[in-house]
Amino acid sequence: MKVLYLTHQYFPYFYTGTELLTDNLSRYMRMLGVSTEVWAYNLNELKEDKIKRTNYKGIPVTFFSHHNKDFSRDWKFFRQNSLKKDLISDLLKESKPDILHVTHACRMGDIIEAVNKSGIPYIATLTDFWVLCPKASLIRNNGDLCSGPDRGNACGKYCFKNLGSQMTKRYRDIRDYLKEAAKVVYASNFLKNVFERNGIDTSNWVNIRHGYNPMEKRKRIKDNFYRFAFTGTLQPNKGAHLVIEAFKKIINKNARLAVYGEFKHSQKYSNYCLELAKEDKRIEFRGKYDHTKLASEFADIDCIVAPSNWFEPFPFTLTSAIAFGFEVIGSKIGGIPEIIGEENTKSLFNPGDINDLSEKMALKLKKGKGSPSGLFYEQTVEGEAFKYFQIYNYVLGK
């Protein structure tokens, strides 16, 4: 069996949850005797052939680049003439996959269409809302949270004015994409419910939670400081500014805050966070971290905070943090309460409420270092991969 993984971006250029999912599956499938390959989009300018063949730590990877580098068109599901159809056809004949697994469809509609026409079955994993929402975030241009596209009408009204007809076409395209998939996999019940409320048939959907790597062992650095950490992307919807402001309200010389994340995603917002933190020497910006080595990367961290103020479906770092025994605090929004547990009120705060977050952080600080979190997360990467392996076999009739 050969599985071709298709995603919007990949290591070593981007390190987020979807890339980690893609990489984990491509490696663990090989342990099960499955041949794997990754096709991904490359945000960097490529040469005339518009593809780049490479190998990432043993996984063969083909990077694509569109002729048109206008990323304002990323909302489109199909970008006509963006990749030569004969090029895609030739690459498919060379790759000879038995099944296509789409871990993120952004910029990949043309390839998905070509694969579908060739008769190769595909499954789709939904890690965010991009398929449903052109902005991927369900956040309107004015900052309000959105309940969904309303068959494209809401997109044209609130975010993409003068593109109403194209938004309704996009909705039809994504509806067909999900309907024609052999299986659609989701981790968050919240995400599934949003799709159902927007008229999407979920009868062929399967729930598989993201896994953590049990081979990693948490190595604690012993000192007198209690460290909180923000580990999301430095963008407004992830809420780094909220945890910075909440932390500043805590008067304790032994409290520390480590802010992880690269500035490249939004330099303006990153500068804003730096400005918020500049008067408090207890706050440290640490840049990017290795998603594959969370337990060792966060050796001196006591509590990981997920202060999202958008409908975050199922953050990877939060699941791993709980599995490795870290204390966690998360906002009561999206799929976060599913991970932490609605009943664990001391680990949840009202989204956007700085005072509530600060109080929850103070409770963790009072509890002290090394105390058991009382939370559990059992899905391993190996278990996750085996569930996908079963789906592949089912789809192929094995």
Alpha-carbon distance 33 to 35, whole Å?
7
pTM summary value = 0.91
Domain ranges in the chain are 2-211+380-395, 226-367
Of 3.30.930.10, 3.40.50.2000, 3.40.50.300, 3.90.320.10, the CATH number of 2-211+380-395 is 3.40.50.2000
Residue found under tokens 């939670």: 209
CA distance 202 to 172: 15
Return the axis-axis angle of helices 164-180 and 109-118, rounded to nearest 10°: 40
Asked if the domains 2-211+380-395 and 226-367 are classified in one and the same CATH topology, the answer is yes
Q: Hey, which residues does 129 pair with through a beta bridge?
A: none
Q: What is the mean pLDDT of residues 370-382?
A: 89
Give, in order, the Cα–Cα distances in Å from 32 to each of 3, 133, 253, 344.
Answer: 12, 35, 51, 37
What pLDDT does residue 217 have?
76
Q: Which of 171-185, 270-284, 302-316, 364-378 has the lowest mean pLDDT?
A: 364-378
> CA 315, CA 230: separation in Å to the nearest integer?
12
SS in 3 state form for 293-342? HHHHHCCCCCEEEECCCCCCCCCHHHHHHHHCCCEEEEECCCCHHHHHCC
Given a contact cutoff of 8 angstroms between Cβ atoms, the answer to whether 310 and 237 are in contact is: yes
Residues 206-245 pLDDT 10s: 999 999 888 777 878 888 999 999 998 899 999 999 999 9
Indicate the SS3 state at residue 278: coil
What are the tens digits of pLDDT across the range 258-291?
Answer: 999 988 778 999 999 999 999 999 999 999 888 7
What is the CATH code for 226-367? Answer: 3.40.50.2000
By the 8 A CB rule, do 73 and 79 touch?
yes
How far apart (Å, rounded) are the C-alpha atoms in residues 391 and 369? 42
Query: Tokens representing 70?
Result: 């206008």
Residue whose C-alpha is closest to residue 361's, from 322, 320, 303? 303
